[in-house]
Amino acid sequence: MAKNSYFRFKQFTIHQDKCAMKVCTDACILGASADLGNSKRILDIGAGTGLLSLMTAQRYPSVLIDAVELDTDACLQAVDNVAESPFSGQISLFNTAIQEFAPAYQYDSIITNPPFFQSDLLSPNSQKNQAHHSTSLTFSDLLTVIDRLLTDQGRFHILLPTDESEVFYQKAKALGWFMTNNLTLQHNKDKKPFRRIMTFGRSYFAENEIDNGILNIYGENNKVYDQEFVSLMKDFYMIF
């Protein structure tokens, strides 16, 4: 995914020059694929540029979305991106740590692309560290927050690298969360998986009832997009 100062989608534009976390393909897949059912209120944890909130608003025109972002520059950029979109009436931005966020209600669904590196070397860039590393939001912190903010029947959707996803899965399982959906992302069928999108709820699902899937971004020659990926992204990407 190009790291230009902006990325234009069919119904909105993401400006990203002030954000450490740029538009990336895996985040776009989360925004396009998360099944939010009949949710009325949705929480976006770690909103960054506002990408996930905007994609969600486009897919679900009647939902209200609260988006929380710790980094001030990123939050201000998300505010601008939302204001310039057709979906400004659906999305509210909050510049605060999610641990300190205390709304008067709970959410039917939560989506998050959180800081994920737990052991990698830190970058000299503090903004990148905050965006990419779990020093500002550990997996344990995130699960505590989700437990507080999600309704009893709600579900949360999380995007993580494959190695980190297993760490998160074990922590979530130990705390009584049950995985209901597991989508593995690959560049193509011959490449190792690089991301997982997992959905969790409080209700038990037998292992054979979990919806497991694999999404390839490219076909066999790694030059043409996989048709399933095209179908998923056609309402968003200008090239489809």
- Counting the structural domains of the chain, the total is 1
Tell whether 32 is covered by a domain.
Answer: yes
pLDDT at 204: 75
Mind listing the pLDDT tens digit for each residue in 30-65? 999 999 999 999 999 999 999 999 999 999 999 999
Tell whether 127 is covered by a domain.
Answer: yes
Rounded to whole angstroms, the Cα distance separating 133 from 190 reads: 29
pLDDT at 135: 57
Taking the CB of residue 94, how many other CB atoms lie within 10 A of it? 18
Tell whether 1 is covered by a domain.
Answer: no
pTM for the predicted model, two decimal places: 0.90
Q: Which domain holds residue 125?
A: 8-233
Tell whether 77 is covered by a domain.
Answer: yes
Tell whether 240 is covered by a domain.
Answer: no
**Looking at this protein, which amino acid is placed at residue 64?**
L
Tell whether 2 is covered by a domain.
Answer: no
Cβ 30 vs Cβ 67: under 8 Å: no
Tell whether 238 is covered by a domain.
Answer: no
Q: What is the CATH number of the domain that holds 41?
A: 3.40.50.150
pLDDT at 210: 86
Rounded to whole angstroms, the Cα distance separating 144 from 240 reads: 39
Mind listing the pLDDT tens digit for each residue in 1-25? 446 799 999 999 999 999 988 999 9
Q: 3-state DSSP call for residue 164? A: helix
Tell whether 154 is covered by a domain.
Answer: yes
User: What confidence category does residue 133 fall into, taking pLDDT thresholds of 50, 70 and 90?
Assistant: very low
* Percent of the chain residues past pLDDT 90, beyond the cut: 82
